[in-house]
Chains A and B, each alone.
Chain A
Amino acid sequence: MSGLARLRLPDTARPGEVVEVRILIQHDMETGFRRDMQGRAVPTNVIQDLRAMYAGNTVFRAELGSGISANPYLSFFIRATDSGEVMLDWVDTAGVRGSAAAVLNVA
């Protein structure tokens, strides 16, 4: 599983403004209910934990299950306080980690 992901947030924000963070991650979000061409069960493998860090806080966390679509998309909000990095990281059932970051300029 490649760690390919797209992260988007506004380049700039006013202090106190609530801005949208969007992320799209390439991941099969394997349910564990599928079988491969040889009839073997494909084990469950989902991004089970995703965190968003900003200005020293974990501002958002998502625990995902097999009920979230393949190539998961998430949009959530943060209140802009200081200029700095918005960092997202995640881990799947197989223990593979991924991350993405972008800078938010607050002025």
Chain B
Amino acid sequence: MKRRPFLGLLAALIPLANIRNASAQNFLPPQDLRPFIDKLTGGAPVRAGRVTMEMPAIAENGNSIPFTLRVTSPMTRADHVKSVHIFAPRNPRPQVATFHFDPHAGKAEVTTRVRLAGTQKIIAIAALSDGSFWSGEVNIVVTAAACLDEALG
């Protein structure tokens, strides 16, 4: 009889252990971005357009992938991009980065390198000075390494 609570405890622990392991792996399903997006738009509509992203179609390694973001805008005091939020829904933390611009930036364009936990669709939401929100997306395939390495994962 004493064995049963112990087994129950064990059974309860297994899913937890799995989640812990999976968190850094490629097998995480895409997360629902709605709570993140609602938080930044306050429920305002998001229109598709103006935002473009450039990435290779296939990445051999998810640790460092070139990424360029552009938002079409005159970047004047009256009409400019205030911020852009980048989301990777299959990353353990979907919020990749937020970039804030100023009319003095001249153009709303950023290049960086990102880490992606597997094949997914990257979403960017731009907040403009007139209060409107615009979005863009890009698909990328992240392949697994062929050779095992000594790295700790």
On A, residues with C-beta under 8 Å from B are 18-19, 29, 31, 33-37, 54-55, 57-70, 72-79, 81
Evaluate contact between A79 and B112: CB separation under 8 angstroms. Answer: no
Q: List 30 A-B contacts (CB under 8 A).
A: A18-B106, A19-B106, A31-B115, A33-B23, A33-B24, A34-B152, A54-B104, A55-B104, A58-B102, A60-B101, A60-B102, A62-B99, A62-B110, A64-B97, A65-B95, A67-B86, A67-B91, A67-B95, A67-B97, A68-B115, A72-B112, A73-B111, A75-B110, A75-B111, A75-B112, A76-B109, A77-B106, A78-B105, A79-B75, A81-B104
> Which residues of B are found within 8 Å of A18, using beta-carbon distances?
106-107
> Complex formed: what's the CA distance from A29 to B23 in Å?
17
On B, residues with C-beta under 8 Å from A are 23-24, 63-65, 75, 86, 88, 91-102, 104-107, 109-116, 152-153
> Which residues of B are found within 8 Å of A58, using beta-carbon distances?
100, 102
Count A-B contacts at CB 8 Å.
105
> Complex formed: what's the CA distance from A77 to B112 in Å?
13
Evaluate contact between B24 and A34: CB separation under 8 angstroms. Answer: yes
In the complex, which residue of chain A has the Cβ closest to the Cβ of B65?
A: A69
In the complex, which residue of chain B has the Cβ closest to the Cβ of A51?
A: B100
Interface residue from B92, B110, B115, B153 paired with A74 (Cβ < 8 Å): B110
Evaluate contact between B104 and A68: CB separation under 8 angstroms. Answer: no
> Which residues of A are found within 8 Å of B96, using beta-carbon distances?
65, 67-68
Interface residue from A59, A60, A73 paired with B112 (Cβ < 8 Å): A73
If over half of A's interface residues share one DSSP class (helix, strand or loop), that class is named, otherwise mixed; here it is strand
Given A63-B97, A65-B96, A70-B63, are A31 and B24 neighbors across the interface (CB < 8 Å)?
A: yes
> Which residues of A are found within 8 Å of B153, using beta-carbon distances?
34-35
Evaluate contact between B115 and A66: CB separation under 8 angstroms. Answer: yes
> Complex formed: what's the CA distance from A43 to B102 in Å?
33
> Complex formed: what's the CA distance from A30 to B152 in Å?
13
Inter-chain pairs besides A64-B97, A69-B114, A78-B104, 19 sampled, C-beta below 8 Å: A31-B115, A34-B153, A35-B152, A60-B100, A60-B101, A60-B102, A62-B97, A63-B99, A63-B100, A65-B97, A67-B88, A67-B94, A69-B64, A69-B113, A70-B63, A74-B110, A74-B112, A75-B111, A79-B106
